[in-house]
A and B are shown apart, each in its own frame.
Chain A
Amino acid sequence: MALLEEPIKEVKVLNNFIGGEWVQSQGEIKDVVNPATCQTIAKVPISTKDEVDAAVNAAQEAFPDWRATTPVARARCLFRLKELLEEHFEEVSRIQTQEHGKTIDESRGETRRGIENVEVACGIPTLMQGPFSEDIASGIDEYLIRQPLGVFGIIGPFNFPFMIPLWSAPYAVATGNCVIIKPSSEVPNSQTRLAELADEAGFPPGVWNVVHGGRTVVDRILDHPDIAGVTFVGSSPTARDVIYPRCGATGKRVIAQGGAKNFMVIMPDCNVAATIPALMTSFFGNTGQRCLSGANLVIVGEDNSFYNNFVDAVCDAASRITIGYGLDESVQMGPVRDEQKKKRIISYIESGIQQGAKLRLDGRKNMRIRGNYPDTCFLGPTIFEEVVPDMRIGSEEIFGPVMSVMRAKTLDEAIVMCNSNPFGNGNAIFTSNGKNAREFQYRVLSGNVGINIGIVAPMAFFPFSGMKDSFYGILHTQGQEAVRFFTESKVVIQRWL
């Protein structure tokens, strides 16, 4: 199968987008490497504190006029952005594959989910409306208005370079705020292209800004007194120990989405034929690099025959996954984002072996890479059996294509296993029994719950939820909750005398 054409053809130094201008950074420059080919595809600046300040100034300057722009007019900018994203759908999808490594189906899925957030935010004239109560007392009315707060920082992760900033940005600007997006420096091209399209869509200068970089940029966003709030998606330690407390210290609103260790609970009454592909997507889709990936597969019951047949089927399917460069349409799993991440995953595989888990499928060896690519960032699917929750591979977030198979005698025991883990992001049950499904949904401590769904990704009009160590904050990204996050509720009680 021939490769789809790469959209990034020459290595360019990326610029920041500040106040409607593409501005060269004074910071040091770092290579952006395609993990499949190991070729440099761009150079990204590690911007300075002053450059963040310049973006904040531009955003602050733009804010009064943008806030005063009618919600309908703001929505029209979003409608134009949506049209441009549809027009460039394939290009932005391929950029994601080129810079991140995911398969083209996965990138297109990411693009679609990003666009869906723009679509939902297009409804801002009604989404922003507040309630009105006539005659709360004689001749007195009470109503609520939602007002924007100013400038927001959006800090994106490496695993969804296009979509995740769109969980926040469309709602922030639709409600009349201005944004500063800091993409992951590992995958900065998607947000650069998105900013170009936002500019073309007609957002006024300073409303939509992008500052590339690393820790310095994050620190300045967190500490800047004129930034009203921050949304962040990344690891739990960073969410818990850095983002959340520092936003609190400077009085910022915060949505800090962290990591996960998701349990996929298999009941013996599940539809096995439909469950296996769902598990392949869950555990090995996006090469396991997502906070909704399956991590622990818990098989319920004492029926050894069911257990053996099921695990055999899972191992067989996983061993046949085609690995390679995601721009080859036949590829089902791309590389890990970079070599460091691969080493980290391998260290988990080694710890699993040391702690006594049974290595059933070894991704270090099971690598049938399609095409002539260096194996630097590739890693095959790995499956362990006889994992118990206190092993590192059973409790910690690996963020790679590793499945830990566990057993539970009863559904009750499986739910206890799920709930004993510190994370609570996206657990799922596979069953054809409604009572089991309801019991699981009712009791499991997880922000997103799947019933016969392996990746519990909420649509744009639902909040992207999360519990325990997977989420720090109150309101969530996406939909109505995002609208509330990006606005202040002002209650007016009026009486005309």
Chain B
Amino acid sequence: MTLQTASEVISFAKKLEEDCAKFYENLAQRYTNDREALLSFANENRRNIVLIERAYYGVITDAIEGCFSFQINANKYMFETKLAENASYNAALNKAVEMEEKIIKFYSDAAEQSKSLMADIPRTFAMIAKKRNIRSSKLKSLQRL
């Protein structure tokens, strides 16, 4: 599935954030040791949705190439959030890292492709990608040896 319009890309970003938030909430329920950290990731995802919406709705204009900016292959960034019943905590964290890497790639690609749009949109995408890089490191640090 190729996303071409700004509206599609924003909706897709929101879906990634929401799916990801639910994944962390599920993890927080199952693995209570790092509950607070995992819930903070979910909260941050929901804040990202607000940031994305604010950037898009704040600067969308019919004069810029809103319908013609993107060629995003959505399939490349989709991820599975279902965990096996008996998955270990480390396995769950590995899955989270994989998921984050896909999302980082999505935001980086979207930032690159949206350079012709008003600056707020690529800047927001790039900022979220940067925050997620930090999160990815945190996830790795949570892994038990």
Contacts and interface: CB of A to CB of B under 8 A. Distances in A.
A18 B49 CA distance: 41
Contact of A105 (B58, B66, B116): B66
A286 interface: yes
Q: Main SS of the interface on chain B?
A: loop
Interface string A97-109: 0000011111011
Given A277-B116, A330-B8, A332-B5, A105 B63 contact: no
B67 A281 contact: yes
A156 interface: no
Interface string A60-93: 0000000000000000000000000000010000
Nearest to A452: B116
A108 B67 contact: no
Given A105-B7, A108-B7, A110-B62, A278 B57 contact: no
B143 to A, nearest CB: 38
A330 B4 contact: yes
Interface residues of A, number: 32
A79 B116 CA distance: 31
Contacts of A454: 65
A173 interface: no
Contacts of B68: 277, 280-281, 317, 332
Contact of B65 (A103, A281, A330): A281
A331 interface: yes
Interface in B58-93: 58-69
B63 A112 contact: no
Contact of B4 (A110, A113, A332, A455): A332
B60 A105 contact: yes
29 contacts: A103-B7, A105-B7, A105-B60, A105-B62, A105-B66, A106-B66, A106-B67, A108-B57, A109-B61, A109-B66, A112-B57, A274-B116, A277-B116, A278-B116, A280-B67, A280-B68, A281-B64, A281-B65, A281-B66, A281-B68, A285-B62, A317-B68, A322-B4, A329-B7, A329-B11, A330-B8, A332-B68, A455-B62, A457-B62
Interface of A: 1, 89, 102-106, 108-110, 112-113, 274, 277-278, 280-281, 285-286, 292, 317, 322, 329-333, 453-457
